Amino acid sequence: MATQATDQHRSLPWLRVVGFGSVFLLLQVTWSVLEGSAVWRTWMETLNVSVATMFVGWIVPDANVIAEGTRIRAIGGGINLVQGCDGVELLWLITAAFAVAPLTWPWRLFGWVAGLFLAWLLNVARIAGLFFAWRTDPMWFDWLHNYVGPLALVLVLGMYVHTVMARAPVPEDASAQWYR
C-alpha cells in the first residue's frame, strides 16, 4: 500500500505539468478563435491600448497621445498592438498555474484573481514603455519588445506564483505535502 501511495505522489508533478500545458494550450487556441470578437476588442483596445494611452498621457501630457483601435497615436510616432504582442499569454500562464496549483480554493481563487490583475498592470506598463522606446530608439524597442519585456514579465509572474505558493497554508493531509 505504501509503495502505491508513493508512486501516486511521484506521478502528480507530471500530471500537473500536463494539466498546465493543456489549460494553457486550450486558452491559447480559444484566444486565436476569438480574434476580432467583442472580447478580443475589449482586451486589446479598451483594457490595453486605452489604459496605456492614459498612462502615457499622465507621464507626458503634451504628447497629444490618443488611442485609436489597437494603435497608440501621437505626434512623433506611436505603436500598434497586435495579437501575439498583447500580453494575453500572461493571463493564460497565471490561469494555468493556479488551475493546477496544490492550493485550497480560497488561496487558488485569490492568487488567480490577484495574478490576473498583476499580469494586466505589468502588460499595460510594458505597452507604455514600448511606446516611449519606439519614439526614442527603435533598436531599443526591438530589444524591449522581443527579449527584455517578455522575460521580465514571466520572471515577475513566476516570483508571484512562488510567493503565493510559499505563503499558502500547508495542507493537513500529509500525502499532499509532496510539493513543499
Does 23 fall in a domain? yes
Higher pLDDT, 48 or 2: 48
pTM for this prediction: 0.85
Q: Does residue 156 form part of some domain?
A: yes
What total number of domains does the chain contain? 1
| Lookup: cell for 180 | 513543499
Tell me how far apart the alpha carbons of residues 88 and 27 are, in angstroms, rounded to a whole number. Answer: 10
Q: Minimum mean pLDDT among 37-46, 101-110, 149-158, 163-172: which range? A: 163-172
Q: Is residue 9 part of a domain?
A: yes
Provide φ and ψ at 50, rounded to 5°.
-65, -40
Encode burial over 4-24: b for 16+ CB neighbours within 10 A, e otherwise.
eeeeeeeebeeebeeebeebb
Which DSSP helix (H) or strand (E) runs through 56?
helix 51-59
pLDDT tens for residues 12-31?
788 889 999 999 999 999 99
Whether 20 is covered by a domain: the verdict is yes
